[in-house]
Structure 1
């Protein structure tokens, strides 16, 4: 599936992602979507609940939840049983999202969906959630996942974005954890849409940009986790397309990436913003990743090779 098909940010006056999903599906008609896709997704997009009100930093996550919910509203019994990714059916994938969201919910004092939280760890919590949903109807899994996500957004609205939390033992500001949830929800929605054969519009550019910023700031950590010492070196990262931008990225975790100010760098990487976010999220092949590179090509390729290091299932 072309991740750039049906760009919702090209349709003015449609900030609500569910409305955009409907309009984007209509726009897809000219590009021959899969047979039956329009008949299935358009009514679902219209009937899915709109996103719950969210604080500014929670809005990208809330919008991706709404988009996934619209996709789930169109799912047939056969779709729910399809293997999507990691050997999980669509219902198990939603259980996984609920499990990972649940670690964030627990960290901020929001209600946690599913059985009591036995371990603050993604894989074991996913196993518990999949076991819990095994005897339940897919619609029940969808409702519980969606309700928990809305509770997270509502609780986050009362928090300062810089408040540190550590779900799964990983400490970042709450705003960054919600961007991480946005990215994973976006990627898994794309996984599901690809397998089921439904068109999926991109997020708003205003939601892609903070997610791209988060990905840029993760680069020194992906290098460190991969056993690569960035030292005092840096790269200039230019991400093209709606929601993109340019960053000066020091490769030491002691310093933080910032919007590009023209400071010298050892290498320059220019690539598509959506593809870069998906690379960080574990999609794509680093060795074959399409990018224009200037300066130290070996360093730039090392950055791209290490990019998926923090991605999980």
Structure 2
């Protein structure tokens, strides 16, 4: 490997995660000893990885295997108690740590081939997360970790996204699960080390990713949403109960989902008083028209609402409390489910 400054900077996230090749393990430290800017960036990345790793975890023995409380404790211990990122990026840091806790306990090659969701096994699901995080990573100036795809010029974002996801999964399935996890962890660490993860002012700038224009801060919340959803997918596939996000993080997901749902319904839909249960202030919203009296109410649990928006509940199956116009209630539930891009 060349000791060129730019080449080494591309390897700093891998260095922070302990994922360098033997050759790079010799050259990167030598460059860090001579380059003050790279050394400072490397230390920031290493600190992020420490936060993601959380407290030391005991091995998953027979008493914890298949025990929801055992996995719950592991995931909670892996969450950073006080992440040194801004509030908008904290849910993503915690979600990454939770998935790391779960993946770190997989024993041998067998679990990696377990079917999870869509046509993905555990290995492919982690590969998918590399592709899912990539648009935000690229927008924030990070290099892709998988060879570029040949996307047809003029392709819409959905077509380009589908092609890129398939390419990333195919590439990663040619590598070991450990290499895929290292690549995903390094990319997550690099995202959390960006100035936008630490500075709310920088994160307030809006950008369009995956067909949705949101502030960068909200795109970090979307990344948290997806990381948690797929952690839950993997946990269910392997018979482990995965805890929901910490309450402050869960409500960040809820509030963003409600805002997007309100935009999807538009101002002419029949008005509905939408309540998400829990102690968080501001858990009621009027969705739809502001010019008509509210005669319909819908009540959902916050986790169930997130699973509905994440595509893990069918609209007619999600547990709910409802009174009023059945057609309007069905429309809200169907619109919520249609938001799933995970």
Could you say whether these structures have the same fold, taking a TM-score greater than 0.5 normalized by the shorter chain as the test? yes
Secondary structure at 1:57 match in 2 = coil
In structure 2, the residue matched to 1:58 is 89
The structure 2 residue matched to 1:231, chosen from 268, 286, 292, is 268
Offset at residue 42 of structure 1 (A): 6.7
**Structure number with higher relative contact order (C-alpha < 8 Å, ≥ 6 residues apart):** 1
The structure 2 residue matched to 1:122, chosen from 161, 186, 193, is 161
The structure 1 residue matched to 2:335, chosen from 293, 296, 306, is 306
In structure 2, the residue matched to 1:149 is 188
C-alpha contact 1:234 1:249 (8 A) present in aligned 2: yes
1:292 and 2:321 are equivalent in the alignment: yes
Larger Rg: 2
**Distance 1:244-1:132 versus aligned 2 partners, 3 A rule:** farther
**Distance 1:271-1:164 versus aligned 2 partners, 3 A rule:** same
C-alpha contact 1:41 1:74 (8 A) present in aligned 2: no
- Which ranges in structure 1 are unaligned for 5 or more consecutive residues? 1-15, 224-228, 256-262
In structure 2, the residue matched to 1:102 is 134
Q: TM-score, normalised by structure 2?
A: 0.71
**Distance 1:133-1:230 versus aligned 2 partners, 3 A rule:** same
- Which ranges in structure 2 are unaligned for 5 or more consecutive residues? 1-50, 152-156
1:123-179 Cα deviation digits (max 9, x unpaired): 111111112112211011111111111211221224533211112342111122111
C-alpha contact 1:222 1:309 (8 A) present in aligned 2: no
The structure 2 residue matched to 1:90, chosen from 122, 127, 132, is 122
In structure 1, the residue matched to 2:11 is none
User: Would you say how many aligned residue pairs link Structure 1 and Structure 2?
Assistant: 277
Alpha-carbon distance in 2 for matches of 1:277, 1:152:
23
Offset at residue 96 of structure 1 (A): 0.6
**Distance 1:37-1:82 versus aligned 2 partners, 3 A rule:** farther
Aligned residue runs from structure 1 range 1-313, under 5 A: 34=66, 38=70, 53-76=84-107, 77-116=109-148, 118-119=150-151, 121-155=160-194, 156=196, 157-158=198-199, 160-223=202-265, 231=268, 233-241=270-278, 245-251=282-288, 265-313=294-342
C-alpha contact 1:241 1:273 (8 A) present in aligned 2: yes
C-alpha contact 1:235 1:266 (8 A) present in aligned 2: yes
Offset at residue 62 of structure 1 (A): 1.0
Q: CA RMSD in A?
A: 3.4
Q: TM-score, normalised by structure 1?
A: 0.77
